[in-house]
Each structure stands twice: as C-alpha cells, then as structure tokens.
Amino acid sequence: RRVHGASVCILMIFPDVAIAETIDIVDENNNVVRQATRKEMRTHNLLHRSTSVVVTNKDGLIYVQRRARVKDYCPGYLDPAPGGVLQAGEEYADNARREVEEEMGVRDVPLTYITTFLHDDVVRVWTGLFTCGPYDGPLTLQEEEVESVTLMKPEELLELAESGKDKVTSDGLHALRLYLAWKEEQSRK
C-alpha cells in the first residue's frame, strides 16, 4: 500500500528502545491531555508531538538519513528530516536542537521555525517543522538512530519516493513538501 508517495511502514516495538520514556499525548487541537510511555503511544498509535528538521548545506542540498534498522518507526527507511518524539513537557525548539545534535552531530547552527502541522497517516503526530543550515561541517551519526546520511536535491528524494525505488517515511515527505512550499514563499519576499 502506498500513501502520498511513501510506502507504509510497520511500527515495531523493541523491548530495549526507550519504551519507558514518558511523552505527552495530545488531542486534535494539540493540547496535552495526559502522559504515556513511548511503548503505549506506539502500541495504540496515540496522537503525540514530534519535530522534523530539514538540514541543508550551502548548495541547498538536504541531508537525508537512512534510519537505523532497530528504530521503532520505519526502520531502514529514508527520512529527509531528522527529529524525534518530544518528551513530556519538552518544547518543540528544544527537541529539534537536541535531535539534530544527537542524531547527526549538527550543533551551533541556527534553527528557523516553519510551522506546526498534523500528520495523521501511518502515525498520528503534531510535528514542529524547522530548517537548519547551511551546514557543511562534519557529521557524527548516532548509530542506534541513523545508519547513514546522503546529500540529495529535494526533488530527487520526491522522485525516489514516487517511483517506489526506495522507502521514505510518510511524515518526512509531508515535512519536505511543507518545507519546499515555505522555501518558495520565502524566495518571493
């Protein structure tokens, strides 16, 4: 089955992957309604919060991650936007900064907030979308999160997803499309 150019991934629960981490569960208006463990959120596909950060280099290419095969969501898939699930009480911007540093070693590069959007497809999540760059420094990959990183033109990744030649996270594609629309809008200002 295909969803918006992405292959539907299987949510997996691994006993050793942050199952006890406490996160905020939110409603359809992004209001916190309670806390739950990450395992409970994944098991019941509960609406929660996450971030996506499109990281670019000086040539406008994006850093595309190959997700580690032990991830609980879309293992082995391509993802155009590093990020992650917010911990209980965590702010979007703090999470975005933490995730790009943890996953890729990108630090001391300003983040620009783009939007917050509801993604209700394979996962149900309110995502804070940011961009970061240009970044042309070294990468330090967190092996339990990221298998590899490739620089790509955004259009190349969209074509790859649409052709079915590789699997791309559906929320990552959603974030990438919103990023490209924002970038187009910024170029007209």
What is the phi-psi region of residue 37: left when phi exceeds 0, alpha when psi lies from -120 to 50, beta otherwise? beta
Report the largest interatomic distance among the alpha carbons of the chain, rounded to a whole angstrom.
49
pLDDT digits (tens, 9 = 90+) for 84-124: 999 999 999 999 999 999 999 999 999 999 999 999 988 89
Give the rounded distance of the alpha carbon of 91 from its chain centre.
15
**The pLDDT of residue 82 is above 70:** yes
Token pair belonging to 53? 């950060």
Give strand pairing partners of 146.
67
How many angstroms separate the CA atoms of 78 and 98, rounded? 20
Q: What is the pLDDT of residues 125-153, one digit of tens each?
A: 999 999 999 999 999 999 999 999 999 99
Instruction: Supply the pTM of this predicted model.
Output: 0.90
For the chain, the first-to-last Cα distance in angstroms comes to 39
The one-letter amino acid at 35: Q
Provide the 10 A C-beta neighbour count for residue 28: 10
